[in-house]
Amino acid sequence: MEQKELNPIPIYQYLDAEGEVIERLPGWTEDKDILLGYYRHMVLGRQADAKAVALQRTGQMGTYPSCLGQEAISTVTCALMKKEDVLVPYYRDHPGLMVRGIPLSDILLYWGGDERGSSGDHWGKDFPNCVPIATQACHAAGVAAALKIRQDSGIAVCALGDGATSKGDFLEALNLAGAWQLPVVFVINNNQWAISVPRRIQSGAPTLAQKGVSAGLPSYQVDGNDVIALHEVINEAIDRARSGKGATVIEAISYRLGDHTTADDASRYRSSDELQQAWGKEPIKRLRTFLHHRGYWDEQQEQALIKEVSLQIEQEVQTYLNTPLPPVKDLFDYHYANMPSALKQQKQEAELRAAGGQSHE
């Protein structure tokens, strides 16, 4: 029997790579404050990202995963969430975390190897960064189940990369979300690379969004470099979850312009021509061009924003660098109800060696 081809899933897009309008714009785009808010947060995210990479390169921070070129997805997603919602992020969501009120100093603290960076008061009910691949999808389904049982007005939003969609955790979470009609939105940042594995050989599915269809979930593709398209698709999915109509899967198409992490060298497995083409589609320049065309932005405003953002980042970096290291005893105190004698001796020795005190510098 001849197998029929899977139904294609169209990509939602309003702005082309040059920032030109290619579809009739939704009415909310007349509110320039929404668009300018997105732009400011994206610029902050990119400048902060560059500073984080510089800190790692100079030995002042640990391995760091850049979000270069992917700022729009996280920014729009988190801007559309409410305070009572629960964000279940993955490790490239730095711009969105700042939108949710997480200080950059906390983000740097976490990537500097200090877990206190993901447990401060600013985090509220949001989950900490998830570095293991796709495990957060099951966490998000669990959170959504709890919210539904409690009849809470909040929803769960789970962020993940394209590589995570190949994991069983992701598929199990989709199945549960579909079977129980959970208030959760899964936002896939398809940046085309799972470390060094390109999208074309990660999965035989024509789109990653189609993986949600098997769970009975509405599933969409959207241009992840187009904030207007992102706003439309994500906002609809959030409204659907909040109104009790269940989960949605969104595949946002982007490109990872940097290395996988600062421990990676992407030039070993991708061509410079491919990277150059991707730079032509990146989200910040696209939105800036659109704002210029609409008369919402000019060069004077741009320079003022860069100056403001640079000052904010420097202040946050100093807060991070001046944060004293946690006490050495924290390495030992949370493993056993009753600490073994051998570990007690190691703790005493470690505390003696650390008596001089250290900081993150």
User: Is 256 considered catalytic here?
Assistant: yes
Question: How far out from the chain centre does Cα 148 lie?
Answer: 24
Question: Which of the residues 46, 100, 260, 286 is marked catalytic?
Answer: 260
Which of 46, 92, 100, 256 is an active site residue? 256
289/293 Cα distance (integer angstroms):
6
**Residue 260 a catalytic site member:** yes
- Please give the structure tokens belonging to residue 307: 């100056």
What number of other Cβ atoms are within 10 A of residue 84's Cβ? 13
- Enter the tokens of residue 226: 């187009």
- For residue 166, give Cα distances in angstroms to 162, 236, 300: 8, 26, 46
Residue 210 CA from chain centroid, whole number:
21
Residue type (1 letter), 327: P
Distance of CA 350 to the CA centre of its chain: 36
Radius of gyration of the chain (CA): 22
Record the tokens describing residue 199, joined without a space: 């999208």
Catalytic residue among 269, 293, 320, 353: 269
CA 269 vs CA 67, 69, 91, 144, 256: distances in Å: 19, 18, 22, 38, 13
Polymer length in residues for the chain:
361
The strand pair at 193-194 and 11-12 is best described as unpaired
How many CB atoms lie under 10 A from the CB of residue 98?
22
Residues labelled catalytic: 256, 260, 269
